[in-house]
Amino acid sequence: MKFTSWGNYPKNLNSCYILSKDELPILNLPFLPYGKGRSYGDVCLTRHGCYILTSNKNFILDLDPQNLLLRVEAGVTLKTILELITKHNLFLPVVPGTQHVTVGGAIANDIHGKSHHLHGSFGNNVLSLKLTTSSGTKELCENSQEFRATIGGLGLTGLIQEAVIKLIRIPGTTISQINKVTLTVEETVSVLEELSSSYTYTVSWLDLLSQKFRAIVMGGNFTDSNTGYKKTEKPALSYPFFFKIINNVTLKILNEIYFLLNQRKHTEFLVDYKKFFFPLDIIDNWNRAYGIDGFIQWQSVLPKDAKLLKECIGIIKKSECVPCLCVLKDFGSIQPKGLLSFPQAGYTLAVDFPVSYDTFKLVEELNKFVADAHGKIYLAKDALLKKKEFLKMYPEVNDFVKYKDRNFCSDLWRRLVE
């Protein structure tokens, strides 16, 4: 089997793997749990190692709709969970931009979503864990230090077997969405904050390719009204092979279409939750559109200061690179539980870049900027961070090392720590 990350960069074709077990075998290779391969850089890759596939551990063990609790095995995807719990009018407090991720991966990367200002990150909603390490299997509860290391622990503290997750109750499965067009960075940021007070889910889409800055800020709330809304189940399309269509020209056209389509909608309208949260899931393997060379998703969080954000966007616009799919979100002040968790109060900007020499140069510059501004780079998407910057962004790593399993290692860990 071929193991890649979603960005197809870096390449790693190591093919030794085992299926998830209750005990770890004795092997002279470093292990790394592998779920759906939806993280971007090298966090889910290990050279000369052995992957532990969690796909066979996909049981939902218990659902308690009264107490809003769900106990699942680590290999269950969020899609499976959502399809089940939406029938009971329940929802996960935190969902990322795709539903094809496993619970294990969501915990190990402490993923966040559009509702950070209310629900925190995924780890904030995990109550307990079952973890298999080289020394055996144990239950971890919320306040232990080992639990904190495992949340956002990049799969290096051991193999997550089971988790108990807190759920939220929703009135219905449709989302009432509102779109607002903004034309400056300051305006975008203030509209984003304004919407955060009345909407559970907020996100903004930026167009960094057009001459003038423009953005669409979106807010959404679950609603039980279904008036004027017909649910249509569309089959997923698939991008069949690696063929690069992303470039300066096609992207400008795509951005223009997207902007025009969303600009027209002034008042609140209804959409299905899948379309609101997982717009890219309608095309399977969309990462192939970046060609065989792959792409880098760069995501950082900057302190709440529109000036810093503007400067950062300035660096991107000045470069020769093609910034595709720029997303800006607002992180609230809820502290993450994990030692290596990414979220902190501030603005988080995510941008995709096709792999090229210019991209490497730009990302290096951006990383330096973020490190100096006391921001952080998201490790689940990182492929190019330097050791020095990493230590500055994640000082808790010295604490984390104590809980890292000696038999687990990833390429990211080799690059940043060893």
Partner 1 sequence: MKRIVCFGANSDIAKALLRKLAELEPSEFFLFGRQIEELERQKNDLIVLGAKEVQCYRFDAEMKSGQNIFHNMSIDECFSVFDNADYVVLAHGYLPSKVFNDLSEAERTFYVNCLSFIYIIEKTVELFKRQGFGKLISITSVAADRGRKKLGYYAAAKAAVDSFLSAIRQSVAEYPDISIITVKPGFIVTKMTSHIRGPFPSTPEFVAKDIVSAILKNKQVVYTPWFWRYIMLAIKLVPESLFRKMNF
Residues that bind partner 1 (CB under 8 A): 1, 15, 17-19, 53, 55-56, 58-63, 73, 83-84
Cβ contact 327:206 at 8 Å = yes
Which of 84, 334 has the CB closer to partner 1?
A: 84
Which of 56, 263 has the CB closer to partner 1?
A: 56
What residues form DSSP beta bridges with 324? 352
CB of 80 to partner 1, least distance (A): 8
CB of 25 to partner 1, least distance (A): 11
Q: What one-letter code names the amino acid at 5?
A: S
Question: Whose CA is closest to 45, among 298, 396, 382, 339?
Answer: 382
How far is it, in rounded angstroms, from Cα 32 to Cα 24? 11
Cis, peptide link before residue 354, omega less than 30° from 0: no
Half-sphere exposure of 110 (CA within 13 A, CB side): 26
Which of 100, 138 has the CB closer to partner 1?
A: 100
How far is it, in rounded angstroms, from Cα 20 to Cα 59? 13
CB of 409 to partner 1, least distance (A): 21
DSSP reduced 3-state for 43: coil
CB of 309 to partner 1, least distance (A): 41
Which of 23, 83 has the CB closer to partner 1?
A: 83
Cβ contact 342:301 at 8 Å = yes
Which of 15, 267 has the CB closer to partner 1?
A: 15
Which of 124, 173 has the CB closer to partner 1?
A: 173
Question: Whose CA is closest to 1, among 42, 55, 82?
Answer: 55
Which of 61, 141 has the CB closer to partner 1?
A: 61
CB of 153 to partner 1, least distance (A): 24
How far is it, in rounded angstroms, from Cα 174 to Cα 119? 19
CB of 18 to partner 1, least distance (A): 6
CB of 60 to partner 1, least distance (A): 5
Half-sphere exposure of 280 (CA within 13 A, CB side): 13
Q: What one-letter code names the amino acid at 337?
A: K
Cβ contact 286:325 at 8 Å = no
According to DSSP, residue 398 is labeled H
